[in-house]
Amino acid sequence: MTSTADSTSGPRVAVVIVAAGSGTRLGADVPKAFVTLAGQSLLERSLHAVRGMRHAADPVVVVPADRMDEARRLGFEIFGRLIDVLPGGGTRQRSVQEGLSLLDDGTEVILVHDAARALTPSALFDRVVEAVVEGGHGIVPGLPVSDTIKRVGGDGEVHETVDRSQLAAVQTPQGFPAAQLLAAYAAAETEETDDAGLVAAAGHAVTVIPGDAHAFKITTPWDLRRAEELLAGASLPRVGFGTDTHGFDASAELWVAGLYWPGEPGLAGHSDGDVVAHAIVDALLSAAGLGDIGTIFGTGDPRLAGAHGSVFLEETRRLVEEAGFRIGNVSVQLVGNRPRFSTRRREAEDTLASVLGAPVTVSATTTDGLGFTGRGEGLAAFATALVVPGR
Ligand SMILES: Nc1ccn([C@@H]2O[C@H](COP(=O)(O)OP(=O)(O)OP(=O)(O)O)[C@@H](O)[C@H]2O)c(=O)n1
Ligand SMILES: C[C@](O)(CO)[C@H](O)COP(=O)(O)O
């Protein structure tokens, strides 16, 4: 198989995306994975989700035989390289088996994902990988069943109410230690509707972790309409606002707006105290609905001690993009008596823009001697950010 996953920073992960079904229940005029949803096919959306994972992963795509060129082209556009594409089988299980045939011995964790679950967030893929590594066994995402479930006879007569407290509606991606999944498929004697069924039949444990409502399977025209409505509701740009304040600490170096300011008193803080970067982080996280800097970057994290603003900005950009947005622009104002900002404004804007991949404008002001900034006790920054749905 074609591998680029970085095995030095985590387990070697492969994601088999099964996209070879015909979509009988959807009834479209093309195979379901190639149906367009708000401008992108279901397969394309699933590939983007894999591309957005924090864990590097090698995709293997299984499609109808006459769609292989199209799938290769999509893979190349999204991953910037050739990805493995195979023709599928007559059932989902056969299609997964085809995909597994390409994996090499170095693969440690295998995820199997339905292209039909096109709105599954990248974060769910990462959570499944982490749970497999931690547990050493199969992991399936699932949601509690909210309807009352009846066991019904062929004539419609209700025989019993099933105890729903013991039920979970399971989704994909389903993840497994590679050896367990490969052995279960090699030994398969039954036809199961999911991979966990085969792994459990082979005698291995499988655990359910919380799934995600967005990972629902597009099966019927109603599901497709629901997905379209979800995306339409999420098509407007979103704005966010963030502020940050740090007091001066004469023993520290001053880092503001991603730049080092020699000869200036620094700012106190767990990290380098870059108020401009931190206000931008809050504005971006807020715009994307991802919480705030304290939620994502805890002060208890030793990796962030003394960290420069670029570390926070890079990770924030990744999170915003993973959540399905791109950054439109950022505007930030620094408030304080010093440093004299105007001479390096352009340099600061270019530095921040290159980290965020979007225009950043920075202004600076004083407060006429009023307040803590006016008294020269510290700096404050106020930022707004615009994020736009779509990658
Ligand atoms: N022979 C098959 C059947 C299904 N799948 C894939 O398995 C996933 C889950 O299957 P489902 O949603 O049931 O898709 P279809 O089989 O295409 O749907 P239908 O049963 O309505 O025909 C889908 O991503 C589908 O493309 C596959 O790769 N090969
Ligand atoms: C694998 C699966 O998505 C888990 O819910 C599901 O079983 C596949 O759907 P199908 O319609 O049974 O093929």
User: Is the pTM of the predicted complex or chain greater than 0.90?
Assistant: no
d(CA 184, CA 196): 9
Output the pLDDT for position 6: 45
Strands 360-365 vs 158-162: parallel, antiparallel or unpaired: unpaired
User: 224 to each of 25, 114, 218, 219, 229, how far by Cα in Å?
Assistant: 11, 15, 6, 8, 9
Rounded Cα distance between 308 and 355, Å, is: 12
Phi and psi (nearest 5°) for 20?
-100, 5
Amino acid code (one letter) for 131:
A
Beta-carbon count within 10 A of 89 CB: 16
CA nearest neighbour of 219 among 142, 116, 119: 116
Tens of pLDDT, residues 125-164: 999 999 999 999 999 999 999 999 999 999 999 999 999 9
Q: Please indicate if the annotation marks 45 as binding a ligand.
A: no
Percent of the chain topping pLDDT 70? 97
Region of 387 please: left (phi>0), alpha (psi -120 to 50) or beta.
beta
Specify the residue with its C-alpha closest to ligand 2, atom 3.
171
Return the minimum-mean-pLDDT range out of 25-34, 302-311, 373-382: 302-311
Query: How far is Cα 31 from Cα 314, in angstroms, rounded to an integer?
Result: 38
Contact between 162 and 229 under an 8 Å Cβ cutoff? The reply is no
What is the complex's ipTM, to 2 decimals? 0.97
Atom of ligand 2 nearest to the CA of 114: 3
Q: Is the CB of 65 under 6 A from ligand 1?
A: no
pLDDT, tens only, 1-17: 655 554 346 899 999 99
Please provide residue 73's backbone torsions phi and psi, each rounded to the nearest 5 degrees.
-65, -45
Residue of minimum CA distance from atom 4 in ligand 2: 171
Q: Which ligand sits closest to the CA of 197?
A: 2
**Could you give the domains of the chain?**
13-232 (3.90.550.10), 238-389 (3.30.1330.50)
Report the distance separating Cα 253 and Cα 249, nearest Å: 8
Per-residue pLDDT tens digits for 240-250: 999 999 999 99
CA of 42 to the centre of ligand 1 (A): 12
Q: Residue 33 CA: which ligand is closest?
A: 1
- The amino acid sitting at 352 is L
Which residues have a Cβ under 8 Å from the Cβ of 133 and sit 6 or more positions away? 10, 11, 109
> Residue 69 pLDDT more than 80?
yes
Assign 270 a pLDDT band (cuts: 50, 70, 90).
confident
Cβ neighbour number for residue 359 with a 10 Å cutoff: 14
The strand pairing partners of 13, in sequence order, are 57, 109
Question: Cβ(313)–Cβ(281) under 8 Å?
Answer: yes
Cα(226)–Cα(185) distance, integer angstroms: 34
Of 51-55, 100-104, 234-238, the range with the lowest mean pLDDT is 234-238
Instruction: Output the pLDDT for position 295.
Output: 84
Residue range 352-371, pLDDT digits in tens: 999 999 999 999 999 999 99
Backbone angles phi, psi at 271, to 5 degrees: -95, -150
**pLDDT band of 324, cuts 50, 70, 90:** confident
Residue with CA nearest ligand 2 atom 13 = 193
181 or 301, higher pLDDT: 181
The amino acid sitting at 300 is G
Confidence label for 252 from pLDDT (cuts 50, 70 and 90) = very high
Q: Please tell me the predicted confidence (pLDDT) of residue 117.
A: 98
In a mutational test of the pocket of ligand 2, which residue from 94, 143, 191, 193 has the highest number of ligand atoms less than 8 Å from its CB? 193
The confidence band for 389, taking pLDDT boundaries of 50, 70 and 90, is confident
User: Crossing angle of helices 275-287/309-322, nearest 10°?
Assistant: 10
- Do the annotations mark residue 350 as ligand-binding? no
The Å distance, Cα 253 to ligand 2 centre, comes to 56
Pairing of strands 149-152, 158-162: antiparallel
Residue type, 283: A
- Among the listed residues 333, 191, 329, the one whose alpha carbon sits nearest the alpha carbon of residue 257: 333
Q: How far apart are CA 61 and CA 16, in angstroms?
A: 6
156: left (phi over 0), alpha (psi -120 to 50) or beta: left
Residue type, 110: I
pLDDT for 300 equals 75
Q: Which helix (H) or strand (E) holds 62?
A: strand 57-63
